[in-house]
Structure 1
Amino acid sequence: MTQKIIKFPLQLTDSESTKRNSLVLDGYSVIEKCIQNTEEKGMLYLEESVLLLVLEGSASLTFGKQTYTVAKNQLTLLKKARVYEYEKKGNSNNKNIYHELLIVLKDDLIKSFLTTTEKIIPKETNGEIGNGVHSMTECLIIFTESIDPYFNDKPEMYSGQLRLKLKEMLYHLGIGNQSLFQELTQLREPVKTEIQDVMEQNFFSPITLTDFAYISGRSLSSFKRDFQNIYNMPPATWIRKKRLEKAKEILETTQLPISEICFSLGFENVSHFSRIFKEYHGNTPNFYRAK
């Protein structure tokens, strides 16, 4: 079922079957633990880059045309300003439990680590499984176990301790996996990407033009200029046009409720969506659903 896009880390999934805990540093959550025993599907917009560590069960992720699965004791790096579709499944051999850690990687954390750390020489480089999925080293597994007692403030973790634990984790990543560590070091250096690819993969996402510019590796002014040269219209006009055309396609080919279509395409208000839909297509969403 299509769901409204969740923003992370500011907005979290919350249900009776889901237990989430946070470790907070400088006023924002840096590590989230999720344990649940029901399957879950949704769409996640990342406001910061995040490491996903799966400790039990599996998570399937889709970005653009790429889909990959992260299984038990595996991890992947999810980059900020992107929307991922996800499906979480528990381990049928362990009461259908799904267990994950989400570790937020703010730019200042990466910068501080790289500027204050001696050169790291990876000892193991065979942890990549494919499509950006990596095996967790024994040291990383032990790290996840070492922070578990600190959730729910039992015992209390001081900010200095948490900074040290995050630095410890980055050391484990650097020493244990060369390709993943290279991904981390490049987080603050966006690579210039074709605007057409950026827009087709993200036009339905509830993100700003600044986010689109970041994803494409451009300043906001350069992004707007390059976009205008390619499409001969402002980005906001193109985005609304694409979303409304996609909405009509979904209405004609699925039975999804109009509200779900509205939210999944980045519109936040159903009445506003219905009004501009009629202005663009000449008929209401209900007309195309009946058809």
Structure 2
Amino acid sequence: MVNDYKKYELYGKPLLQKIELTAPFKFDFPVAEQACFLYVLEGEFQYQQDDEEINIPANYALFLNCVNSGKQIHNARPHHHCRIVIVTFYPEILKKIYDRELPLLLQRPTNLISNQSNKKLNNDFLIQKYVEGLLFYFENPSLVNDDILVLKLKEIILLLAQSQSAESVQLILSQLFSPTSYSFKQIIEANLFSQLSIDQLAAQNNLSVSSFKREFSKLYNDTPANYIKNKRLEKAAELLTVSDQRITDIAYECGFNDLGTFTKSFGDKYHLTPTSYRQEQKR
């Protein structure tokens, strides 16, 4: 149940919203090409991603893009109160307020292919203070005008750019301006030799880990960990043969984050150390 709802519009579109709800509740998002920052002031809510439920407690936030009909936040625990502040990002408004050049956070990252559309943001002191500042304006509506709203929108973009989740936020926001959709295989092949974990690869495909593993097995007839490790070792074997790079550099280039793991995995597959393999191939 919605107990209280306030909003401020910028150029005719809802920019800032404050919602107070009592569980059980379901709060639906409209179908729109936009991104939303949802910060929990009190209580908690859940967001369903594929077959995985993400819990967002107080002082945490959820960042969303590509919101489709049927997606919603909810809380099924009776009598639990939840207060949320929402900041909404519209591509046309962002283009208008950045009339010369979009900031880096709104530009698509280079060399990273992903369909990620949501990110749970950890408790961040600066963002917490930003939201407290927004509450001041909800309590003093006579002080609010378009200039203030533009300022607050630019401020949250600056803060998100400095947060630990900046890379994910950039991926999500940049999709507002270049909404390319990648296939599952494109994302896998593009990230084979990166340092991404299975959890991160699932996020790049906008899937839960369990659904990601099912889809991977269906397409590759193998587990993600085994397939990716073999591809990385095959590339390492090729580099050991055709280049004079240091073995440590080859390990990192092929996606291994430490030399010990690489050496053991290489030995398990080729029954030789990387150094011995290189010597054998160059005889």
**Scaled by the length of structure 2, what TM-score is found?**
0.51
Matching of residues 212-223 of structure 1 within 5 Å: none
Match of 1:145 in 2: 132
| 2:166 corresponds to | 178
Which whole-Å deviations, capped at 9, do the CAs of 1:184-229 have from their partners, x for residues lacking one?
233322232459xxxxxxxxxxxxxxxxxxxxxxxxxxxxxxxxxx
8 Å CA contact retained: 1:50, 1:80: no
1:144-164 per-residue CA deviation (whole Å, 9 max, x = no partner) reads 111112226533311101100
1:65 paired residue among 28, 34, 51: 51
Q: Which residue of 1 aligns with 2:65?
A: 79
Give 1:225-264 correspondences, 5 Å limit.
none
1:103 corresponds, among 73, 76, 87, to 87
2:19 and 2:170 map into 1 onto residues whose CA distance is 27
Shift of 1:117: 6.4
- Structure 1 residue ranges (4+ consecutive) displaced by more than 6 angstroms after TM superposition: none
State the aligned residue count. Answer: 167
Measured in 2, the distance between the counterparts of 1:117 and 1:103 equals 18
Which among 29, 34, 45 is matched to residue 19 of structure 2? 34
Does the aligned pair in 1 maintain the 2:21–2:82 contact within 8 Å?
Answer: yes
TM-superposition CA deviations, 1:130-185 (whole Å, max 9, x none)? x7211142111111111112226533311101100110111000012322332223
Q: Is the 8 A contact 1:62 1:85 kept in 2?
A: yes
How far residue 118 of structure 1 moved from its aligned partner, in angstroms, is 6.3
CA distances 1:117-136 after superposition (whole Å, capped 9, x unpaired): 6667xxxxxxxxxx721114
- Which residue of structure 1 aligns with residue 176 of structure 2? 187
Instruction: Check conservation: 2:24, 2:74, Cα contact below 8 A.
Output: yes
CA radius of gyration, larger in = 2
* 2:166 partner letter: Q
In structure 2, the CA distance between the partners of 1:51 and 1:113, relative to structure 1 (3 Å rule), is farther
Q: Decide whether the 8 Å contact of 2:127 with 2:156 is kept in 1.
A: yes
Percent identity between matched residues is 17
1:4-19 alignment, distance < 5 Å = 17-19=2-4
- Is this contact kept in 1: 2:23–2:80, CA < 8 A? yes
Cα deviation, 1:65-108, whole Å, max 9, x if unaligned, reads 34312111111222134131321368x9xx83311111110013
